[in-house]
A and B are shown apart, each in its own frame.
Chain A
Amino acid sequence: MIFFTLEHILTHISFSIISIVITIYLMTLLVHEIVGLADSSEKGMLVTFFCITGLLVTRWIFSGHLPLSNLYESFMFLSWSFSIIQMVPYFSNHKNNLSAITAPSAIFTQGFATSGLLTEMHQSTILVPALQSQWLMMHVSMMILSYAALLCGSLLSVALLVKILYVNERINFLQNTSFLLFRNYHRHQLIQQLDRWSYRVISLGFIFLTIGILSGAVWANEAWGSYWSWDPKETWAFITWTIFAIYLHTRTNKNLQGTNSAIVASIGFLIIWVCYFGVNLLGVGLHSYGSFTLTSN
């Protein structure tokens, strides 16, 4: 019982802190740089990270297995990964412009997980025999980490597209110049930064996705004797991998860079959601542990 209340408390704390942090960010966007608050938002994200970590550890201890066995737990893990990605640039002394993307993502995933849609999954459950394996830790955690990184990166690309289209329209409104002539140096800088950040984050996510898919294949071979069986979830993970491989290839050629790669990454955003979430709605196949039915409660 104590674990349950502890979980409850931690969830609520992290949820509220993220809401506060997002409010601070919004305020700094609208009202310029309030210096004191900027630092506290970083601290806020740190506290959130510890809260979610505490939540996951509690669940781990209570249920005896890594908390990754159904959709609720994987959503919590996803919001944890977002908070990690949030913190990594902070610790390597980069200017943190990812936070506008990661913080809301963390809160949305957490909010969805704790919402009424998934109440029957909140309880820690036992692992079925097929999931009792060391590979569970590696495969699922890699996949969720990769989803987090790829989602971040593709959201950055979406932001990039929005920025480009917005800037393009303004310039066309002001005068008929070509796309490349930027009046505003800072806007150009921002677009370039977004572009580079999204490339780097997506590359990292791609590595995790590769490791996740391949470890899943090896696990499947150990458990069922077949490393690839065109299960819907497997196939969609492969499709995600292919889309981001296309993204990485479009960036090698200078002509296709910029807008085109951002479009590919934005398509990738949708595909990740289909892979992670949409396939589970079907409820069939080898990955049926993650499935659920939408109950209106």
Chain B
Amino acid sequence: MLITMASMSPSKTQGQTLLLRSPLLHSSNFKTHVFAFLTNNKRSQSASLKIGVVSKLKTITQKEKETPISRKIILSEGKVPTLSEKEEVSTKSQKKTEEIPVMGLLKKMPRKIITALANLPLAIGEMSTIAALMAIGTAIDQGEAPDYYFQMYPEDSPLYGIFSWRWILSLGFDHMFSSPVFLGMLILLAASLMACTYTTQIPLVKVARRWSFLNSAEVIKKQEFTDSLPKASVQDLGVILMGAGYEVFLKGPSLYAFKGLAGRFAPIGVHIAMLLIMVGGTLSASGSFRGSVTVPQGLNFVMGDVLAPNGFISNPTKAFNTEVHVNKFSMDYYDSGEVSQYHTDLSLYDLNGKEVMRKTISVNDPLRYEGITIYQTDWSISALQILKDNEGPFNIAMAPLKLNGGDKKLFGTFLPVGDTDSPNVKGMYVSVFYLLHHFPILAYEPRSMLARDLQSIVLYDLEGKFAGVRRPNSKIPIDIDGIKITIVDAIGSSGLDLKTDPGVPVVYAGFGALMLTTCISYLSHSQIWALQDGTTVIIGGKTNRAKIEFPEEMDRLLDQVPEIVNSSSLQKSFDSL
């Protein structure tokens, strides 16, 4: 919350008003109430009118709802709080905080622990440790069986002479990102974040918001940037500064202006956003459900059968009873023949068999229903539908074949040799099983069919020689060693991932807050003091971040201050002070 005050004292010659129009006051961030009160002061002869402006700053953080902390400070003439020197708050010093009801609980905790946690070198050490642990986590393969580690890091020739598998497994480095060491460091970092925000950042806000006048020229001249303008008036400077976006306060010959105060608040927002993300991440880790399923076109499954809990507070919802039906699986292709997108047309039915939702999903376009999301992640070919000598159609299962390297897929099947009238079910399963283990010999199997995608099927004859390519739905038969085969359809199956995650809204809120507050903390908090010393104006200023741009900006602004040449107008301007 911000208080600005202007003092208007009617002089003998004319009523001079110094109204400060600050752009900030009228922006949407502030709700302004203006009230004025007249005081009669015994010390001065004239009545002075005080105008106090009380504004409520709309805060950025998500945690504070629509109840901003508002306070009113009423100031009277002559008792302006002057700090002769505004000091930089060092992170190591302790600041006394005012009573805030919410924080009252925390006062019970020993003060020493909080201060110890908020120590900056400790925080830097924690961050470095976390970074180092993450780097180790990428260097060591995660999630393998213990056997793997026995082989990779044997005891008789350990890494760098010391690190054998014992180190890795006992410290939990094989599952680094859920190991106690790593999670412990994260918790410690979170504690430090909270302690730092409480002890350092919040008092910083109060100190930064207090405005102060410097009344001595020597002190002003000691600032980082300093200049003096002969034959100028401090009011002109004030007007120029206001035009440049500063909030200006004038008291007698003394001026104080600042800009970019949000840049001081934003780091608090950053820390709070990070805490929010951590909370969301914890919720995700402890309360989500996930599952994967490959469903051939035309079949269906129940969500609850697929989703498995992923934490200890996972609770299934009513939506888990929904039945998902894969109506159609299709793929789009580029002109070159490569796959451009997969689509699955899904229908959701509730317990009563009523269709509640229908959507075609593709990669990057999932289906969302009552907190459960279905993603298109994979695909395969489940069966070929063929006509054999115009009889059929027969469904022949296709099995995936393992290729060396790459993520291209290949599916194969073959037409069993023998009487098609006899139920050759056992033979079919055997042949698929055979396929999986004996791919190199496939080319020599009778009448085999290979497919890379749903577009075209490649057929081989009894000797394993290439016989032809057919597209499903083209209805063109192919003759292979006496048998006429027509490919009717290639039936695909869709690989779907299901997930429900209660932490996602919290995490997204944290992300948004983090992005916003990081951008805002780029702003630099600049402060300018000026003093009218005779006909000269002495200016001093400092800024916390934009130390390069600040002197140049100041030079530009000071060049715009008009030089007063007429001595009588100069006299007039001094009568008003």
Interface residues of chain A, those whose CB is within 8 Å of chain B, are 93-94, 126-130, 132-133, 135, 193, 196-197, 199-200, 203-204, 206-207, 210-211, 214, 217-218, 221-228, 230, 232, 235-236, 238-239, 242-243, 245-246, 249-250, 252-254, 279
Expressed in whole angstroms, the Cα–Cα distance for A93 and B555 within the complex equals 13
Q: Which residue of A lies closest to B336 (CB)?
A: A126
Expressed in whole angstroms, the Cα–Cα distance for A149 and B428 within the complex equals 61
What count of chain B residues pass the 8 Å CB interface test?
51
Chief secondary structure at chain B's binding surface: mixed
Contact indicator B363/A223 (Cβ below 8 Å): yes
Contact indicator B91/A253 (Cβ below 8 Å): yes
Tell whether B497 is near chain A: CB-to-CB under 8 Å. Answer: yes
Contact indicator A200/B545 (Cβ below 8 Å): yes
Encode B521-541 as 1/0 by CB contact (under 8 A) with A: 010000000000000000000
The 10 closest A-B pairs by CB, nearest first: A225-B499, A133-B364, A129-B363, A242-B131, A214-B511, A232-B138, A210-B518, A230-B177, A196-B547, A239-B131
Chain B nearest CB from A266 CB (Å) reads 15
29 contacts between A and B (CB under 8 A): A93-B552, A132-B341, A133-B364, A193-B548, A197-B548, A206-B518, A207-B518, A210-B514, A210-B515, A211-B518, A214-B515, A221-B504, A223-B364, A224-B377, A225-B366, A227-B504, A235-B134, A235-B135, A236-B134, A236-B138, A239-B135, A242-B127, A242-B128, A245-B127, A246-B131, A249-B123, A249-B124, A249-B127, A250-B124
Contact of A252 among B120, B363, B507 (CB under 8 A): B120
Contact of B137 among A126, A204, A235 (CB under 8 A): A235
A94 neighbours in B (Cβ, 8 Å): 548-549, 552
**8 A Cβ contacts from B459-504 to A:** 497, 499, 501, 504
Expressed in whole angstroms, the Cα–Cα distance for A211 and B515 within the complex equals 6
Tell whether B258 is near chain A: CB-to-CB under 8 Å. Answer: no
Chain B nearest CB from A197 CB (Å) reads 6
Contact indicator A253/B90 (Cβ below 8 Å): yes
Q: Which of B142, B334, B340 has the most CB of A within 10 A?
A: B340
Expressed in whole angstroms, the Cα–Cα distance for A116 and B330 within the complex equals 39
Chain B nearest CB from A228 CB (Å) reads 8
With A206-B518, A242-B130 given, is the CB distance from A129 to B341 under 8 Å?
yes
With A129-B341, A225-B373 given, is the CB distance from A235 to B138 under 8 Å?
yes
**8 A Cβ contacts from B350-407 to A:** 362-364, 366, 373, 375, 377
Contact of A214 among B142, B514, B545 (CB under 8 A): B514
Q: Which residue of A lies closest to B341 (CB)?
A: A129
Tell whether B338 is near chain A: CB-to-CB under 8 Å. Answer: yes
Contact indicator A204/B364 (Cβ below 8 Å): no
Contact indicator A207/B522 (Cβ below 8 Å): yes
Expressed in whole angstroms, the Cα–Cα distance for A207 and B124 within the complex equals 19
B444 neighbours in A (Cβ, 8 Å): none
Contact of B363 among A126, A132, A206, A246 (CB under 8 A): A132
Expressed in whole angstroms, the Cα–Cα distance for A126 and B501 within the complex equals 33
Contact of B545 among A203, A210, A239, A242 (CB under 8 A): A203
A128 neighbours in B (Cβ, 8 Å): 339
Contact of A126 among B90, B131, B340 (CB under 8 A): B340
Contact indicator B120/A196 (Cβ below 8 Å): no
Chain B nearest CB from A235 CB (Å) reads 5
Contact indicator A196/B548 (Cβ below 8 Å): yes
Contact indicator B137/A129 (Cβ below 8 Å): no
B499 neighbours in A (Cβ, 8 Å): 225-226
Contact indicator B128/A246 (Cβ below 8 Å): yes
Chain B nearest CB from A256 CB (Å) reads 8
B340 neighbours in A (Cβ, 8 Å): 126-127, 129, 132
Expressed in whole angstroms, the Cα–Cα distance for A214 and B508 within the complex equals 9
Expressed in whole angstroms, the Cα–Cα distance for A207 and B521 within the complex equals 9
Encode B149-179 as 1/0 by CB contact (under 8 A) with A: 0000000000000000000000000000100
Contact indicator B366/A222 (Cβ below 8 Å): yes
B548 neighbours in A (Cβ, 8 Å): 94, 193, 196-197, 200
Contact of A243 among B131, B281, B504 (CB under 8 A): B131
Q: Which of A130, A207, A242 has the most CB of B within 10 A?
A: A242
A232 neighbours in B (Cβ, 8 Å): 138
Tell whether B546 is near chain A: CB-to-CB under 8 Å. Answer: yes
B92 neighbours in A (Cβ, 8 Å): 253
Expressed in whole angstroms, the Cα–Cα distance for A232 and B142 within the complex equals 11
Contact indicator B511/A218 (Cβ below 8 Å): yes
Q: Which residue of A lies closest to B178 (CB)?
A: A230
B225 neighbours in A (Cβ, 8 Å): none
B339 neighbours in A (Cβ, 8 Å): 128-129
Q: Which residue of A lies closest to B138 (CB)?
A: A232
Chain B nearest CB from A70 CB (Å) reads 14
A203 neighbours in B (Cβ, 8 Å): 522, 545
Tell whether B83 is near chain A: CB-to-CB under 8 Å. Answer: no
Tell whether B290 is near chain A: CB-to-CB under 8 Å. Answer: yes
Tell whether B80 is near chain A: CB-to-CB under 8 Å. Answer: no
With A203-B522, A242-B131 given, is the CB distance from A129 to B552 under 8 Å?
no
B549 neighbours in A (Cβ, 8 Å): 94, 200
Tell whether B18 is near chain A: CB-to-CB under 8 Å. Answer: no
With A197-B548, A218-B508, A249-B120 given, is the CB distance from A238 to B341 under 8 Å?
no
Contact indicator A129/B511 (Cβ below 8 Å): no
Contact of A254 among B90, B128, B519 (CB under 8 A): B90
Contact of B497 among A218, A224, A227, A246 (CB under 8 A): A224
Expressed in whole angstroms, the Cα–Cα distance for A192 and B377 within the complex equals 53
Expressed in whole angstroms, the Cα–Cα distance for A225 and B546 within the complex equals 40
Contact indicator B124/A224 (Cβ below 8 Å): no
Chain A nearest CB from B150 CB (Å) reads 22
With A203-B545, A252-B120 given, is the CB distance from A222 to B515 under 8 Å?
no
Contact indicator A129/B508 (Cβ below 8 Å): no
Tell whether B342 is near chain A: CB-to-CB under 8 Å. Answer: yes
Q: Which of A199, A236, A238, A249 has the most CB of B within 10 A?
A: A249
Chain B nearest CB from A224 CB (Å) reads 6
Chain B nearest CB from A94 CB (Å) reads 7
With A210-B514, A242-B131 given, is the CB distance from A129 to B545 under 8 Å?
no
B364 neighbours in A (Cβ, 8 Å): 129-130, 132-133, 135, 222-223
Contact indicator B342/A129 (Cβ below 8 Å): yes
Chain A nearest CB from B376 CB (Å) reads 8
